Amino acid sequence: MEIVSEWASHGGRQLVARHASEAAGGEMTFAVFLPPQAKEGPCPVLWYLSGLTCTHANVMEKGEYRRAAAEAGVIVVCPDTSPRGDAADDPAYDLGQGAGFYLDATEAPWAGRFNMKTYVTEELPALVAAEFPVDMARQGIFGHSMGGHGALTLALSLPGRFRSVSAFAPIVAPSQVPWGEKALGAYLGPDRAAWRRHDAVALIEDGARLDEILVDQGDADNFLERELRPELLERACTEAGIALTLRRHPGYDHSYYFISTFMADHVRFHAERLKS
């Protein structure tokens, strides 16, 4: 691993690192914020998964998480959204580079490199645990849009891994919306039964459970009705007995103006559940 940039911030350190990734078949870059408490010993870790078209840099530069993370003593790790390079090129913004959907692809040409589930849940955590003072017994996960989908599906499919889960404007049922149908079909093939393992609503319907979930959604989000459909998650959680806090915010859209407004709430939500 190589540290490519570093800044002091709120008494801690904001780093950008890169490393050779077997799961992604090439070099990957991620951001990590170390709060001041990390100088004294291991801290809980919060994984942030970004949305379509993003890299680690979007939330690092616009997410405004560092003050709250420094106050709470939480390490924040922000992976990239997909492998990079010519082999990952696609003319569409919602497939290929920037659109890994946090799954392991089985279909050509994506299989062999687009292993974002393995990368985010196995390879990167092992690297972070080896290089930084993280308490891996205290992990939380959150994300935005496609990253909100990733946070929900990874937490639902890895019971006990994450003590806390939240999302900003997540894609809750990719099997039922155009973004998800396109990506899941391309990466996993036509068998919709395989898609269900990467669909939060389907996972809940099939028996996966979480204690609680926090979701923030803007009502001026232009993707709300076609791609996000939070009412499907709300119904699934009600039927499954999962404590979902779904906060709808008048006037807010899908951008980082929205995310940054409520970021501190999410960091505090996770920190409270990662304390013990």
Residue 191: active-site member: no
Residue 145: active-site member: yes
Per the residue annotation, which of 56, 149, 198, 254 is the catalytic one? 254
Q: How far apart are CA 167 and CA 106, in angstroms?
A: 26
How far does the chain reach from its first CA to its final CA, in angstroms?
30
Q: Which residues neighbour 91 within 8 Å (Cβ) at sequence distance 6 or greater?
A: none
Per the residue annotation, which of 94, 199, 216, 221 is the catalytic one? 221
Using a 10 angstrom Cβ sphere, with 0-12 exposed, 13-18 middle and 19 or more buried, the burial of residue 169 is buried
Q: Which residues neighbour 48 within 8 Å (Cβ) at sequence distance 6 or greater?
A: 59, 63, 65, 76, 77, 78, 141, 142, 143, 147
Per the residue annotation, which of 21, 50, 82, 145 is the catalytic one? 145
Q: Which residues neighbour 44 within 8 Å (Cβ) at sequence distance 6 or greater?
A: 73, 74, 75, 134, 135, 138, 139, 140, 270, 271, 274, 275
Q: How far apart are CA 97 and CA 110, in angstroms?
A: 11
The 3-state DSSP composition of the chain as helix, strand, coil percent (nearest 5) reads 40, 25, 35
Residue 21: active-site member: no
Using a 10 angstrom Cβ sphere, with 0-12 exposed, 13-18 middle and 19 or more buried, the burial of residue 62 is middle
Give the active site residues. Answer: 145, 221, 254
